[in-house]
Structures are given as C-alpha cells and as structure tokens.
A = this chain, B = another copy of it.
Amino acid sequence: MAAGRAIDPFWSMYQQHKTDQVAEMLEEYRIGNLSKEDAAKIQSEMASDPYALDPTRNPLLIRRALKPFNAETPAELLSQNLVTPNDLFYIRNHLPVPYIEESKYALTITSESLEKPIVLTLDDLRNKFKQHSVMAAIQCAGNRRDDFNKQKEVKGLTWDVGAIGNAVWSGPKLRDILMWAGVDPESPELMHVHFEGLDKDFEKNYAASIPIDKAMSPAGDVILALQMNGEEIPIDHGFPVRAVVPGVVGARNVKWLGKVHVSKDESKGHWQQLDYKGFSPDADWRSLDFNSAPAIQELPVQSAITHIKPESDVISIKGYAWSGGGRGIVRVDVSTDGGKTWQVAELEKPNQRPGRVWGWTLWTLNIPLEQMKDKEQLSIVAKAIDESYNVQPDGTPGLWNLRGVLNNAWHKREVKVNDK
C-alpha cells in the first residue's frame, strides 16, 4: 500500500504490525539510519494519531490490541446473561473508529441495476421503514484462536473464548429497503450485497459482502441496526448504523455503515478476498491461493466453557453454544473425563423459530461433588450439536489453519480438584 511513498502513516494506522517479529523480517532491508534531527522531525509529524478519536472502553474488557482496538469479554461474564451488555460486548476494529455526526449521516444505496444512487438519512431509516428487533449472536472468525497457538503458532490476534456476544438489534430490514429502492431479488445479474463502513485507511474503506439470497430472503432477518439492546448503538459497535447479518461471521456485520451496493460480483475488499477464509491444515503462506477458498459467511457449530465453580454440593459448569445459519442448538454434551463419558447439559435457548435461531444458547451442568471425590483432576470437555445435527469436531489438528480462523473443536478445560 505504501509503495513509492512514506511508510510512516501506515505504521500508525496498522499498529498491530509493530512487533519484534516484523522488525526482524524488515532488518534485511535496512539501507541506513536517520540522523537524530531527522528522527525527531518524523516523530513530531507522527504525533497526529488516527486513533485519537477512539472512545473510552469498559476496563473489564480483555485488551488484545490497542490500535486498532480489539478486546474480548471475560469468559465468566459471557454466561451471566442471555443478552450480553453493550459495554461488555467484544470489540473487533480493523481501523480507527470514525467519528460520525448524526445530522450529517447519509446511507448511499447503489446498484448496477439502479439508475442513480439513493440516499437515506437516519430519520429515513427510522421512519420510512418498519422497525424489527432480532436477537443475534455475532462471533469473530478468530474466536478461540488461542487454542490453535497451543498446537502451532498462527498469524492473528490472540482470542480466547470471548470474541462472541449476543444482543438484540433493532432497525429496518435490509430487504425492505432494497425492495423499496427497486432492487429485483430474482435478477440473475445481482448476486451479492456489499457493505462499506465509514472506517478507512488513506485510500479504502472497510468493505465486505454477503450473498443476495441472504440479504433478500424474508427469513434472512438482515437488518440495518440503529439500536443494540434498546439503546443507540455504541460508537465501538457501529454508531449510528450497523449491518447485522444473523448467523454470519462478524466480518460481514459491517459497522459505521456508509454504503450498500448490490452487484453481480463479490466485494473486492481486502477482508473479503484476502482474509476471513478457511484453508487446509497443511496449506502454507508461500503457495497459498486465496481464490481457492470461499469467503467465510455462515459459521459452524460452536461452544465454549465459560465458568467452572464449586457451589454448595455441586460443581457448576456453564458456557455458551451457537451455530451459524440460524441452526439452533439441540444439545450440549459435557464430559469430565476428557470425552470418555458424556452428560447432557440444561439449555437456556432464545425463543426463535427453527431455522432462524440467531441468538446463542447458554448451558449449565451441575455435577454432584460426591461424583468427583475420588478424582484429582477433571478434564472438562464441551461439544454442541445443532439443528442439522452437526457436531463440533474433536480436536484442533484437523482444523488448524495458518490464519487461525474457524476453531470450533471440542472446548477443554483442565481443573485440579484440589484447586477448586
């Protein structure tokens, strides 16, 4: 991106690359060192930080990167409520947070099939269309990446089990807006709906797309959310408008939505074409062909253990379970012996129609302390089963991939019984 010009502004934009590993890789390209005077001059120019307008965040969030800001919810807090509180919801930003004045906000809708762009204000989005509320979990493709690192290091931000949250999103349906705009869902020329965020680097805005069938199906429940859990969407979650695509990976739930474009082609954006794709365990960076894998859309069945605590006469084990594509959770199996024997957990499910279960399910299993008294160590394992009877795979070796996405292996936690 910086070819032919100064690289410094890019260093301030993508600060996640300021690591020893990258410095080491760059060492062989060193052609000299700046004089002290020149270095000081550069330093003062770089003082204009593109992240200066980022909002303050709840200190309980576990920071994974500061610029851009990435932080996850502590595991224990995830299973306290079916709905995740706004200030505890994980934050996965790719760029500086854009500062958007409500009165100046405009959503532009374009399509190869429309003669001219359509512009909607916030009031239009609030008043012109029926408002809907949809409970939907949003999960980052990198959730649980850290378990891959334990096997073999991957490239990507470290995430434990907290890069997921469940909220009620309210606003107009994207389908209603596009139908009103004159987009024909049956047109063979229209296959993808693009979302462009108002967050950007020097040239490009964050961009992604979803298949038109998901956008236009009445059962797809895609909304342009103006509210999160009954409040204005917080700045970190896309104020004033976020595309919420239930059942689909976080990367397509575009925040600070500025533009919707309906096209024959998929988005050419970096995060659609060159990231958020799954590869075979033995694919390597040298021979990697990004075109060989489809962009991640619906996510596979997932669960995690978030809480293991002794109570009066039981050990209480809790967690969440969720699957992409509206496939509700039908069962969560929990083992205390590493997967040799299984018990069925109790489920707290969202009240949603089969095939449109976008919210997650919380689960609990209470194990009598008496059952545990002869054991020194518990190897607790959880696996979820969804409406299509997809079951989480057993281990990470078959799932490992160089970018560390899509880890949905059985979740394991070792607990020493003396420690409990």
In the complex, whether A410 has a CB less than 8 A from a CB of chain B is yes
Interface members, chain A 266-302 (any B CB < 8 Å):
278, 280-283, 292-294, 296-301
Which size bracket describes the interface of A in this complex? 35 or more
* Chain B residues whose CB sits within 8 angstroms of the CB of A300 once the complex forms: 388-391
Docked-complex contact B330 and A280, CB < 8 angstroms: no
CB contacts under 8 Å to B, within A29-87, are none
- Partner of A282 from the list B297, B325, B341, B397 (CB cut-off 8 Å) is B341
- The reply to whether the CB of A201 lies closer than 8 angstroms to some CB of chain B is no
1/0 contact string of A123-157 vs chain B (CB within 8 Å): 00000000000000000000000000000000000
Q: Which residues of B are found within 8 Å of A301, using beta-carbon distances? A: 390
At the interface with chain B, which of A88-96, A110-118, A167-175, A211-219? Answer: A211-219
Among candidates B294, B344, B391, B399, residue contacting A330 with C-beta atoms closer than 8 Å: B294
Majority SS of interface residues in chain A? loop
Check A387 for interface membership: any CB of B closer than 8 A: yes
Inter-chain contact A339/B397, CB cutoff 8 Å: yes
> In the complex the two chains form, what is the Cα distance from A355 to B211 in whole Å?
9
Q: Which residue of B lies closest to A334 (CB)?
A: B280
**A394 CB within 8 Å of chain B:** yes
Q: Is the CB of A390 within 8 A of B387?
A: no
A321 within 8 A of B: no
Assembly of this chain: how many copies? 2
Give the contacting residue for A354; candidates B211, B280, B330, B353; CB below 8 A: B211
B390 pairs with A398, CB closer than 8 A: no
Using A219-B217, A355-B211 as known contacts, say yes or no to A297 and B387 having CB atoms under 8 A apart: yes
Interface string of A359-395 (1 = CB under 8 A from B): 0000000000000000000000001010111111111
On whether the beta carbons of A298 and B387 are closer than 8 Å, the reply is yes
State in angstroms the CA–CA spacing of A210 and B188 once bound together.
29
The answer to whether A343 has its CB under 8 Å from any CB of chain B is yes
The answer to whether A395 and B394 touch (CB under 8 A), given A282-B343, A293-B330, is: yes
Bound complex: CA A56 to CA B280 (Å):
45
Chain B nearest Cβ from A210, distance in angstroms: 11
For A325, what are the chain B residues with a Cβ–Cβ distance below 8 Å?
325, 327, 388
- How many Å from the CB of A388 to the closest CB on chain B? 4
User: Which of B211, B297, B344, B390 contacts A390, CB < 8 Å?
Assistant: B390
- Whole-angstrom CA separation of A211 from B214 in the bound complex: 19
A105 contacts the other chain (CB 8 A): no
A398, B388: Cβ atoms under 8 Å?
no
Contact between B280 and A388, CB atoms less than 8 A apart: no
Contacts of A391 in B (CB 8 A): 300, 393, 398-399, 408
Shortest distance from the beta carbon of A225 to any chain B beta carbon, whole Å: 23
Q: Give residues in A with beta carbon < 8 Å to B.
A: 211, 213-214, 217, 219, 278, 280-283, 292-294, 296-301, 324-325, 327, 330-331, 333, 339-344, 353-355, 383, 385, 387-395, 397-399, 406, 408, 410
Interface CB pairs A-B, < 8 A, 10 = A211-B355, A278-B331, A280-B342, A282-B342, A297-B388, A300-B389, A340-B397, A390-B390, A391-B393, A391-B399
